Amino acid sequence: MAFVLFFQFISIFSAAQSLPVGTPLLEDGARFLQLEGKVGLNTSFLVRPLSNIELVFPDSNSLESDYSKGNKLFLKKDKFSLAILPVSVKQLYNSHHPFGWNDGSMVPAKGYQSQMSTGLFAKVGPLSIQLKPELVYAQNASFTTFPASHSDSIWKSYYYVLNRIDAPERFGTKEYVKLFPGQSSVRINYKKLSLGVSTENLWWGPGVRNSLLMSNNAPGFKHLTLNTTAPIVTGIGSFEGQVISGILSTSNILPPDTARTFEGQKLYIPKPEEGDRYINGMVITWQPKWTPGLHLGVGRVFYQYKSNVSTSLNGYLPVVTALFKGNARKEDAFGRDQVFSLLTRLVLPESKAEFYAEYGRNDHSQNGRDLLLEPEHARAYIIGGRKLFSATKSKEVELFIEVTHLQMPQTIQVRELQSWYIHHQVKHGYTNQGQVIGAGIGPGGSSQTIGVNWLKDLNKFGVTFERIVHNNDFYYDAFASRQEFGRHWVDLAFSLNKSWLQKRFIYSANLSLVRSLNYQWQYNTALDENVDVANVHATFSISYLFH
């Protein structure tokens, strides 16, 4: 039954070429069906959004045909087709301070927030046009940010981060309203390849809660893309991939307390007026034909200020240059930063399980010897897995675990190292419009997630417990000399979630009770008291799929 329901809904999205990253139920539904052995193992789920659904899941072809015949809003004549895309409304509420990530164009804010989206999809021969803008409104109520009561020496450590990344705690002091191009694109499609311009959110990697290189934590950015739309089968296995070149934008929001000083020196260092950065990235995955269910991949991204891009192959496509710094000629002179990751995902349909991992570096190794001596230098990682257990004929239980770690390793004791997503030359960091493009837990963070979900058809109800550590890199720099080991800012979140289908509606709801221990790294040393706060984080989204 779940198999039939999935293809009934997925066929509607197949008309629009892609399934947006983060689509409730349907993205997870596709992945669950692969675990159950009901769809092929060639698709890696390491490169998203999923494109050309009818090529990835061939059984949706006939359903799309049946759907389009009776669909008054789906026009098809000769080589021309036109469809109205689903109307989606997502609402979010935080009672005390911003919490949550992977919400695209929505911003970190206290209070009520909403995102509304709909659009059109048109196709003429190989040309496809998808217009799906997003309108965001946020109450953006005032909340306690980094305390002015912290000492100047603590602010010095804090500004070490702020001067190297564009990631404001609060997006201005007024209500926030902004229209984004959203999940829009113009493409030329040929067989299993697509070339075009897009502002869609991307997700590279196997993670569910986090991805090191690309996620939907920030608004989508303008980019040129050449990507596969389905696995390309060869004699040694199947391949998927994407190459992008785009522009990252700035938030234009100043950090707090720019007049703060330490020992007579101003802590705030203005960033370059040109906040736009050029980004070039590539991801390639391989499913060896000898090991069905095993997916291997590699991703690499460079970013730098637009004015520093040289008019050469090395300037526009640095992802194809030398892997080791010792082999890269004058790499530091280009004023750019690199993030790199290795990806793997193993699907075991017989056990209804999957295991995955992502290992990343935010700096080149000098050479192969350096990589072997200190593989942990500049590293971050994600490991996780999920398993389905049959409860009854129509019900299943999912156990899900994921661990993400971005905190600096001990190599910082003997060699220069910076946190993930910040950079001493690209002072706006690895962000778009003020939000990190990769793992939403941010620089120096870590998280551990465990969840149990009850599944029936495509409906889901579950509970999740999550522990999130905020920027331990900053913590050790600011507080290690004080030996205040009780100052870590740690969030403990217990969540209830439910997603379900009703006729043409897709609903998704989440309620999280969050306890923030030592909020903003506050600790009353005189009274030996912790400063803990409670926060309610709630989301509710609804999508309507037109007849």
Q: What are the extents of the domains in the chain?
A: 78-544
Spatial contact of 101 and 440, defined as CB atoms under 8 Å apart:
yes
Helices and strands, counts by H and E, the chain: 8, 32
- Alpha carbon distance 29, 11 (integer Å): 13
Total residues found in the chain within this entry: 547
Dmax of the chain from CA atoms?
77
Burial per residue of 315-345, b for 16 or more beta-carbon CB atoms within 10 angstroms, e otherwise = beebbebeeeeeebeebeebebbbbbbbbbb
Spatial contact of 176 and 137, defined as CB atoms under 8 Å apart:
yes
Spatial contact of 458 and 1, defined as CB atoms under 8 Å apart:
no
Under 8 Å CB-to-CB from 364, ≥6 apart: which residues? Answer: 323, 324, 325, 328, 331, 338
- Alpha carbon distance 143, 444 (integer Å): 23
Q: Which pLDDT value is given to residue 68?
A: 42
Give the Å distances, CA to CA, from 382 to 100, 205, 385, 447: 18, 9, 10, 9
Spatial contact of 461 and 454, defined as CB atoms under 8 Å apart:
yes
- Alpha carbon distance 166, 437 (integer Å): 11
Q: Which pLDDT value is given to residue 60?
A: 46
Structure tokens at 115: 């995102």
How would DSSP label each residue in 226-257?
EEESS-EEETTEEEEEEEEEEEE-----PPS-
Q: Which pLDDT value is given to residue 71?
A: 46
Under 8 Å CB-to-CB from 129, ≥6 apart: which residues? Answer: 120, 121, 122, 123, 185, 186, 187
Q: Which pLDDT value is given to residue 330?
A: 67
Amino acid present at 337: D
- Alpha carbon distance 532, 150 (integer Å): 16
Spatial contact of 16 and 52, defined as CB atoms under 8 Å apart:
no
pLDDT (tens place) for every residue of the chain, 547 residues total: 455 555 555 555 555 568 899 998 888 888 999 999 988 899 999 999 988 665 555 554 433 433 344 444 567 788 899 999 999 999 999 999 999 999 999 999 999 999 999 999 999 999 999 999 999 999 999 999 999 999 999 999 999 999 999 999 999 999 999 999 999 999 999 999 999 999 999 999 999 999 999 999 999 999 999 999 999 999 999 999 999 999 999 999 999 999 999 999 999 999 998 899 999 999 999 999 999 999 999 999 999 999 999 888 888 999 988 776 665 556 777 888 999 999 999 999 999 999 999 999 998 777 778 778 878 888 999 999 999 999 887 899 999 999 999 998 877 777 778 899 998 889 999 999 999 999 999 999 999 999 999 999 889 999 999 999 999 999 999 998 888 888 999 999 999 999 999 988 999 999 999 999 999 999 876 565 668 999 999 999 999 988 6
Q: Which pLDDT value is given to residue 65?
A: 39
The answer as to CATH 2.40.160.130 being correct for domain 78-544 is: yes
- The full 3-state SS of 336-397, as one line of letters, equals EEEEEEEEEEEEECCCCEEEEEEEEECCCCCCHHHHHHCCCCCEEEEEEEEEEEECCCCEEE
